[in-house]
Amino acid sequence: MKKALSLCVVLFMLLTLLAGCGNSKATGFLAATVPENTPSGTKTITDSVGRTVEIPATVKRMVPLGNTPRMITYLGLADKVVGLGGMDPDKINPVTAYAYANKDLWKSVPIVGTDAAGATDYYPEQIISVKPDVILCSYTKELADEIQTKTGIPVVAVPMGTLFGKDYEDALRLLGDVCGAKDRAEKVISYINACLKDLASRTSNIPDTDKPTVLGAAATFKGAHGIEGVYTKYAVFEAISAKDVTKGISDISNSNFCNDCNSAFCSQRRFPAYSSI
């Protein structure tokens, strides 16, 4: 009886000791009962496609896919990139200004997907190997869910971003919230809007008769194209009140218009027949 009582006392003391160590990093069989990210170390956000995602409270490593590498560059987060999609360091040129600015910084960053010439693919094994805290993308809900399921890493989807549009502001704000750059996001948005206001004040009162006609040709949509790729409602032209010869043929900003089927975003994108060009 005494032996049994002594054993109970020893067990009680052992359990008390283990309970007192609950705040320490557990090892052995206790490790499975202690989550790596405690509630205080995570936060929950809702992304642009309505997905609820739990992410680390502090993001130090990221894999940006789609149009997000450009956006995180504007937010001053390029040094946190540990994997990229579809950027051959030897082929980066000033045309892709954000990538060119980060050419040296990203030259040794592993390629973990393809976002070139309209092709969208990702490599789960490579993404997992670079151990990002979060994956950022401008993809659909279905593709974001698929990437998260296959990698086990939180995926946050943001809008693709219409140039100078509200959805671009939404994307920057969401990325700023996720990555701890809220103040920087607001500064970038304010700077862009100030520039747009300045351009409008300089150009809006110039009569159309004093303006040359312009055409946004050789537009890129799922890869580079020749002159047959045409922008309609081109945001750059609208920002400077330019006399755009495509005015009136589409209500979609920055779209690529096809004269054959009278629609935007057509795969043919043949040059519209304008006699005034």
pLDDT of residue 116: 62
For residue 179, tell me if it sits in a domain. yes
Residue where a domain stops, chosen among 160, 195, 230: 195
Let me know: does 37 contact 134? Beta carbons within 8 Å. no
pLDDT of residue 40: 56
Q: Which residues pair with 137 in a beta bridge?
A: 157
pLDDT of residue 227: 65
| pLDDT reading at 196 higher than 70 | yes
Residue where a domain stops, chosen among 144, 165, 195: 195
For residue 7, tell me if it sits in a domain. no
For residues 100 and 190, state if they share a domain: yes
For residues 134 and 89, state if they share a domain: yes
| pLDDT reading at 170 higher than 80 | yes
Q: How many domains does the chain have?
A: 2
For residues 224 and 119, state if they share a domain: no
For residue 31, tell me if it sits in a domain. no
For residues 87 and 140, state if they share a domain: yes
For residues 216 and 84, state if they share a domain: no
Chain mean position to CA 57 = 18
pLDDT of residue 70: 93
Residue where a domain stops, chosen among 164, 195, 226: 195
For residues 191 and 214, state if they share a domain: no
Average pLDDT score over residue span 204-210: 91
DSSP H stretches of helix in the chain: 2-20, 68-74, 97-101, 103-106, 124-129, 141-151, 166-179, 182-203, 235-239
Mean residue pLDDT of the chain comes to 77
pLDDT band at 222 (very low <50, low <70, confident <90, very high): low
pLDDT of residue 119: 61
For residues 52 and 179, state if they share a domain: yes
For residues 253 and 184, state if they share a domain: no
For residues 44 and 122, state if they share a domain: yes
For residue 234, tell me if it sits in a domain. yes
- Please tell me the distance from the alpha carbon of residue 267 to that of residue 270, in angstroms, as a whole number: 9
Hey, what are 84's tokens?
């990229």
For residue 67, tell me if it sits in a domain. yes
For residues 184 and 75, state if they share a domain: yes
For residue 48, tell me if it sits in a domain. yes
For residues 64 and 175, state if they share a domain: yes
For residues 150 and 96, state if they share a domain: yes
Q: Is 237 left (phi over 0), alpha (psi -120 to 50) or beta?
A: alpha
The string of pLDDT tens digits covering residues 31-73 is: 233 334 444 599 999 999 999 999 999 999 999 999 899 999 9
For residue 6, tell me if it sits in a domain. no
For residue 8, tell me if it sits in a domain. no
Domain of 73? 39-195
The H or E element that residue 64 is part of is strand 62-64
**Nearest to 158, CA basis, from 82, 62, 35:** 62
The string of pLDDT tens digits covering residues 4-15 is: 434 343 333 433
Question: Domain holding 69: CATH number?
Answer: 3.40.50.1980
Buried b (16+ CB within 10 A) or exposed e, 19-28: eeeeeeeeee
Let me know: does 62 contact 80? Beta carbons within 8 Å. yes
